[in-house]
Structure 1
Amino acid sequence: MTANPRRQLRQTDVKRLNRTWRRHTEGRLALIVESVTGPFNIGSIFRTAAAFGVGHVWLAGNATPPTNPKAQKTALGTDRLVAWDEPVPVLEAVRAAKDDGFRVIAVELTGDAVPLHEAKLDGDVCLVVGSEDHGCSPALLEAADGVCYIPQVGRVGSFNVGVATAIAVAEARRQEWAAKGMPAGN
């Protein structure tokens, strides 16, 4: 691509690189965002969704929509690149995801949760994240097909919801690409 591999890529090179990864991405990925009210978190989640090819975001509970002016500051217009619905009751969002053929996997700390890297995130998967203060609701956890958590070794008990979403979505794509034998250099 370039004579000096440490030089930052030009915009054309970035588009070419992203196109290569897009060609090796087939799994459908979606999100349910339950009662996330912080507009900057919503904006961050939508930007992550657009970057990783999330096809649909269901907003649930009292989630802030990405059209909120403060959310737009973080999303930078990426909400137009991802299909999304106005907030609905959480069980309605779960039903819609399942009716669309997704397995629903909550990202939450529960007694039966598996570490994120061990969770089966292949195929058509809809990841669920919950509110900043209380996480996923009991009703959502009961309706989910599975639960996973993000292992941490530091002294902080949890991640910001926008960061947790980015980690979970990135892991879902990493698992897909690893299963296809995609080398790290592609």
Structure 2
Amino acid sequence: MSTARDTANGSAAPAARRQLRPTDVKRLNRDWRRRTDGRLGLLVESVTQPFNMGSIIRSAAVFGVERLWLAGNAISPDHRNVAKTALGTERLVPWEHAGSVAEAAAAVRAQGLRLVAVELTGDAVPLHDAPLDGDVCLAVGGEDHGCSPALLAAADAVAYIPQIGRVGSLNVAVATAVALAETRRREWAVPTD
């Protein structure tokens, strides 16, 4: 196979790189599923914008979230405007509106999951140091105020996403995707026997 020089680092790069065909993507995803043992849940508190909820659901489906718990005034995944962003993935992630944060946290714990909130607090640890091993449920809060005091009190741990730019926070859907990806990345980084 002929190669072209990658001018950025001088290494040889394939001359013709192409996207995977759908069957190859399915095979690749199946391989990653085989390497995934940890159960992953997601608690969403008071996310009210359909675009954000749809994006969160799509990310949840991508990273194999087994259950989505809604608390507070979170918009329902079956709202027609959520579907515009979720693109059908709202049918792939089981969900329930658990009522209050306390009820949602109890439902999470009843499933044997550790609850880790994603929020900027004084005692939060960087996401890359958070206790994301094993069976875990991430929790995110609403667009305007993040995780409520009740959610923070119910959490077993709190983690934040380190940021080096001049912006104070990420959009809730983006932050959720980052946290879900880090949770799976940590699991996948463990050498297999």
TM range (shorter): over 0.9
Q: Contact 2:98–2:107 (CA<8 Å) still a contact in 1?
A: no
- 1:180 Cα deviation (Å)? 3.0
The question of 1:93 aligning with 2:99 is answered no
Question: CA deviation digits over 1:28-68, x for unaligned, max 9?
Answer: 00000000001110000000000110000000000001111
Match of 2:38 among 22, 27, 32: 27
Q: Does 1:126 align with 2:137?
A: yes
What 5-or-longer segments of structure 2 have no aligned partner? 1-13
In the alignment, structure 1 residue 47 sits paired with structure 2 residue 42: no
Aligned partners of 1:116 and 1:150 also within 8 Å: yes
Shift of the alpha carbon at 1:86? 2.4
TM, length-normalised to structure 2: 0.90
Indicate yes or no: 2:95 matched with 1:77. no
Match of 1:13 in 2: 24
Shift of 1:135: 0.4
Q: 3-state SS of the aligned residue for 1:9? A: coil
**Conserved 8 A contact 1:59-1:84:** yes
On the 8 A contact 2:131/2:157 being kept in 1, the answer is no
Question: In the alignment, what sits opposite 1:152?
Answer: 163
C-alpha contact 1:33 1:60 (8 A) present in aligned 2: yes
Q: Which has more radius of gyration? A: 2
5+ residue gaps, structure 1: none
Runs of 4+ in structure 1 off by over 6 angstroms are: none
Deviation at 1:4, TM superposition (A): 7.0
Provide the secondary structure at the position in 2 that maps to 1:126: strand
Amino acid at match of 1:141: L
TM-score normalised over the length of structure 1: 0.93
Counterpart of 1:7, as a letter, is: R
Distance 1:6 1:53 in 2: 28
Deviation of 1:75 (Å):
0.3
**Counterpart Cα distance in 2 of 1:50 and 1:86:** 18
Q: For 1:172 and 1:181, how far apart are their aligned partners in 2?
A: 17
Q: State whether residues 65 and 87 of structure 1, in contact with CA within 8 Å, keep that contact through their aligned partners in structure 2.
A: no
Query: 2: CA distance between counterparts of 1:106 and 1:146?
Result: 6
